[in-house]
Structure 1
Amino acid sequence: MLFLGGIFYLLIDKYFSAQKLQIPHNVKNDEITSHRLQAYERLALFLERIRPTNLARRIELSSSLEEYEYALVHSIQEEYDHNLSQQIYILPDTWKFIFSTKNATQNFIKRCKDTLEPNASAEDLQTMILKKSVEGSEPSSDALLQLQSDVQSGFRGF
């Protein structure tokens, strides 16, 4: 009987030891999932903040066209730099999409400026950005759809 009690004790001890090892693993997975969701939320906010229509309204008009263009492009870069660490939590292809969207948005602003007359004002650039944004899809639209797709699929690339 003592022998069976010893075996029972070892089995129970082994079972609870295994359970203790699993708890941190589950907590770790939950924590990683939480960080991933936060990264996707932050990147969605990033994409909204660099959306040309939002950017043109948020950045104060400058005294010159060149200063305003610089302020817009610089703001995009600062937003991007602020979110660089999020790339470790999202799918690599999605991060490439985010990077491409940042570049496309900066180029969009430069193209809008290039369509203006040399003596145009910052207000003219703001108007052109809003006009061109309404005419076509903004670069961040597709990237937002990609973020939504990743989250809805449950991060199936990790």
Structure 2
Amino acid sequence: MEDRLIESIGYILPAVVTGFVAYYMFNGFIKQQDSDKKLAFLAQKKKDSLPIRLQAYERMLLFCERINPVKMLVRIKPISENTNEYLQLLIASIEQEFEHNLVQQIYISNDSWTAIVAAKNAIINKLKQVEETVNSANELRETVLIDYSKKLPPTETAIAFIKSEVKKII
């Protein structure tokens, strides 16, 4: 009886050991396959989202170019000599451009979005400050153009930030 028990253990033990080895090998193989599939999926997702993100950065760069005070004041001429009307026209133009591109914040970094909003607000504040000190719409226009010919507008800072962000993701 003892011989049969030892003989049975002799047959069962290698089968159990082989079973455990096979289980761990297949389990490791399956985990590796899952990991590879997840990495491939993430790589494909990143590849698919890259054009959308780049387009968002392009649109925000264009927004910054359009609200650049020098370019905007050349593009939008005063319709009357009323300073407040011209200021409201300029602010409305900036806000309209901003609202048109508002959804792009989903695709760009928070830092880029913050830089863009700060540039927009700085330009509006500058326009309001100058409006308080001038007497006509043309004088507002000339004063802002002269001020920004001496120093870089805030949009240039935002554009530089956008460009650095794009370099990081490419």
TM-score category of the 2 structures, normalised to the smaller one:
0.7 to 0.9
The whole-number CA distance in structure 2 between the counterparts of 1:97 and 1:68 is 26
The one-letter amino acid paired with 2:56 is A
Q: How does 1:2-151 map to 2 (within 5 A)?
A: 25-63=42-80, 64-116=82-134, 120-151=135-166
Larger fraction in helix: 2
The whole-number CA distance in structure 2 between the counterparts of 1:78 and 1:27 is 35
The whole-number CA distance in structure 2 between the counterparts of 1:105 and 1:47 is 11
Unpaired segments of 5 or more residues in structure 2? Answer: 1-29
Once the two structures are aligned, what percentage of the paired residues are identical?
A: 36
Deviation at 1:28, TM superposition (A): 2.8
| 1:66-103 superposed Cα distances (whole Å, 9 cap, x missing partner) | 11110001111111111111001111111111111111
The one-letter amino acid paired with 2:151 is G
Deviation at 1:62, TM superposition (A): 2.0
Deviation at 1:139, TM superposition (A): 1.0
| Aligned positions, number | 139
| 1:5-25 superposed Cα distances (whole Å, 9 cap, x missing partner) | xxxxxxxxx9xxx99987765
* 3-state DSSP of counterpart to 2:78: coil
Alignment RMSD: 2.3
TM-score after normalising by structure 2:
0.73
The whole-number CA distance in structure 2 between the counterparts of 1:70 and 1:111 is 13
The whole-number CA distance in structure 2 between the counterparts of 1:19 and 1:97 is 38
Unpaired segments of 5 or more residues in structure 1? Answer: 1-13
TM-score after normalising by structure 1:
0.78
The whole-number CA distance in structure 2 between the counterparts of 1:20 and 1:136 is 52
The whole-number CA distance in structure 2 between the counterparts of 1:47 and 1:115 is 26
Deviation at 1:43, TM superposition (A): 0.4
The whole-number CA distance in structure 2 between the counterparts of 1:150 and 1:103 is 21
